[in-house]
Structure 1
Amino acid sequence: MPLLGLGQSAKGLIGIDITSATVKLIELKPTGAHFRVDSYAVRPLREGAVVERRVRQMGDVVEAIKRAVDHAQPHSRRVAVAVPASAAITKTLTLPASLSDDEIEARIQLDSDKHIPFPFNEVAFDFQRLGLNARFGDQQDVLLVACRQQDVSQLTQAVMQAGLEPAAVDVETFAMERAFGELRHQLPSLADDPDKSVALVDIGANMNAFHVLRGGRIVYSRDTVFGGRQLTEEIRNRYGLSFEEAGLAKKRGGLPEEYQADVLTPFIDTLIQQIGRSLQLYYTAGRNPQVSRLILAGGSSVIPGLRERLAEDSGLAIEIANPFVRMAISSRIDIHTLAGDAPAMLTACGLAMRGRG
């Protein structure tokens, strides 16, 4: 079966998240019921190297991965990467419970035109048994995931050209759900009612992704073309800073007083309006349960004042994502630097969490 794994991978795994602005690498090792962060790195990508989560300049991506590896010095060479949710087809099939794995695979191939909207010879796919069907005891539910082989090949080629070994290609939303399993421990109220609806806003460089999770699964998603790069560029142009200097200033502050009124406040206003719009569309999409709180993730989630303004405007409790709360941290890692990058590491973290055998 083509490399598009849904199951678990070998112990000690590197998760690599390739976005339009950065390559994020994290290595997790299972330790009992938890994980230990063994190594990590975040390295910038040249603009245009990745567009809409697809590799456009392979050489730039490979070089960024190599820089991340050189900095992190991971023990493992095995890597999990992810295709964007927009590139994947996911369906739950109902099949006879008596079918073996080989028979399920053959049935999927036979009926591929019913489930997959592109030629089967261009497809990478995988499946996972979900258990017996709730209504029919002689049937089983099977999760099918498929995408174009070229999307998988791009990622695996980038990993191999960087001297690493691709272990699995996941889907971003599955990785996010896996990481949310750790975020739940930031939210004591979920321990009493795990089915509460929680909104997760991942503020990337060029887009912000709005997800609603219930019972640990994403039940609603909406992407908006607006992200932290706009603010970084405005800071860089106005104050003559390098891109990296502008990115640090965006998170840590320290810019002139007029920055707050002229640059930061308009950006926060726009972002809050978009989050509010996404929340409203979630409610109007059907009889959806009330969102109990909101988690901010992504590199721009720690912009000074955003959390407080969003809490005031939405009336919701706002948390900043940190999937490493329960994890041990290797002595090789600067804990404070990792904490600063933690909100942007959800996808990479979820990928590396596949390493639990």
Structure 2
Amino acid sequence: MKSLRTSGKGLIGVDITSATVKLIELKRVRGQYRVESYAVRPLREGAVVERRIRDIGAVAEALERAVVQAQPSTREACVAVPAGAAITKTLILPASLSDEEIEARIEIESDKHIPFPFSEVAFDFQRLGLNERYGDQQDVLLVACRHRDVHQLTETLQQAELVPAAVDVETFAMERAFSELRQQGGGGSDEEGVALVDIGATMNAFHVLKGGRIVYSRDTVFGGRKLTDEIASRYGLSLEEAGLSKKRGGLPGDYASSVLAPYIETLVQQIGRSLQLYYTAGRKHKVHRLVLAGGSSVIPGLKERLVEETGMEVLSANPFGRMQVNPRINAQTLANDAPAMLTACGLAMRGR
């Protein structure tokens, strides 16, 4: 039975990472998105490890706090499984098949496409149109993951008194939000390759997009938590205080040279290595610009160092640049958090 369906308008996007839970509510007003509510709340260390929930109770509690802070007007929410937990394949099937026949065909041939028992699978599909080569065939996008991954996420939402309306895949949500960046001119043209670097607490994900679609991805186990830990240890701060300080500054004079600069150099080297591996893999689309996302992408000096190292234009992701904002939201605070809200925004955009 399929359980990765889209829903109607007005979804809350919920992004669960290893360090925070992020919630954002978008509404369509006269054909344009409006940010109605949002919140970011910290997570207890170990509650989520490498994008997998280890403590549902702790995550649900943090999400509850986010809901109280945001005061959204709806309780319907969309959440995403990590890309590594999902199987995505484009199938070529007869164009004459109905939805029911496509579903039956996928079930019968599941052992060809899905590497685990079909009884454990939640799946969905989307027609992509007629196949370019064979006029009587159609391309169908198949997305599948284990029931347990869907259940874990929906259970977390329910414990936070939210209504699970849809389960997405992180990369699809990111592509959807990236479409907003393209509308603003920050996502490049259809012919340009754009590297999106999502710097989280423990991982940084390097994606190359062409025409708004992710064509290459690479994850590296290195994120902002390392810098936070170093600040906390060196200056005797709590992790929360250290996290705020690394973005806002105000640390002793030796911070920039002894702590921040080595971290930035390591991160720049890793991004350069990911770019090199992209080209080594024989990819044809040249990368023309870098877009930085994630909570640790706003560290002072990172953007400038990347411009110096790569010679490319480097932008900070802000999917809310064209959107209206509810007056009760602090627009500057939202702008500061925008690079970290890309996935949550893409999830909320499912309501369009």
Same fold (TM > 0.5) = yes
Matched letter for residue 335 of structure 1: A
Tell me if 1:264 matches 2:260. yes
**Equivalent residue in structure 2 for 1:125, among 107, 114, 123:** 123
| Equivalent pairs, count | 352
RMSD: 1.0
State which of 205, 209, 225 in structure 2 corresponds to 1:209.
Answer: 205
Q: Does the Cα contact within 8 Å between 2:47 and 2:55 map onto a contact in 1?
A: yes
Spell out, residue by residue over 1:101-151, the C-alpha distance to the aligned partner (whole angstroms, 9 max, x if none): 000000000000000000000000000000111111111110000001100
Give the corresponding residue for 1:4.
4
Q: Secondary structure at the match of 1:180?
A: helix
In structure 2, what is the Cα distance between the partners aligned to 1:121 and 1:312? 52
Within-5 A mapping of 1:272-351: 272-351=268-347
Q: Give the match for residue 219 of structure 2.
A: 223
- Cα distance 1:294–1:188, how it changes in 2: closer, same or farther (>3 A)? closer
Q: Using the aligned pairs only, state the percent identity.
A: 73
> Is residue 282–residue 288 contact of structure 1 (8 Å, CA) maintained in 2?
no
| Kept in 1: contact 2:186–2:315 (CA 8 A) | no
User: What is the deviation of 1:52?
Assistant: 1.2
- Distance in 1 (CA, whole Å) between partners of 2:325 and 2:187 is 26
Alignment counterpart, residue 150 of structure 2, candidates 149, 152, 157: 152
Corresponding position of 1:142: 140
Return the alpha-carbon distance in structure 1 between the equivalents of residues 102 and 181 of structure 2. 34
**AA in 2 matched with 1:205:** A
The equivalent position to 2:235 in structure 1, one of 219, 234, 239, is 239
Q: CA offsets per residue over residues 189-223 of structure 1, 9 Å max, x none?
A: 83xx3221000000000000000000000000000
Q: Does 1:58 align with 2:74?
A: no
Counterpart among 170, 173, 180 of residue 172 in structure 1: 170
Residues in 2 aligned to 1:188 and 1:343: alpha-carbon distance in whole angstroms: 13
Q: Report the equivalent of 1:250.
A: 246
Which ranges in structure 1 are unaligned for 5 or more consecutive residues? none
Which residue number in structure 2 is paired with residue 30 of structure 1?
A: 28
The whole-number CA distance in structure 2 between the counterparts of 1:44 and 1:187 is 32
Residue in structure 2 matched with residue 111 of structure 1 by the alignment:
109
What secondary structure, in the 3-state scheme, does the structure 1 residue paired with 2:285 have? Answer: coil
Q: Does the CA-based 8 Å contact 2:21-2:43 persist in structure 1?
A: yes
Given the two structures, how large is their TM-score scaled by the length of structure 2?
Answer: 0.98
AA of the residue aligned to 1:303? I
Residue ranges of structure 2 left out of the alignment (5+ in a row): none
Q: Secondary structure at the match of 2:77?
A: strand
2:349 to 346, 349, 353: 353
After TM superposition, the runs of 4+ consecutive aligned structure 1 residues lying more than 6 A away are: none
Over 3 Å counting, the alpha-carbon distance change for 1:210 and 1:160 in structure 2 is same
Which of 232-241 and 58-67 deviates more? 232-241
CA shift for structure 1 position 184: 1.3
Letter in 2 for 1:16: V
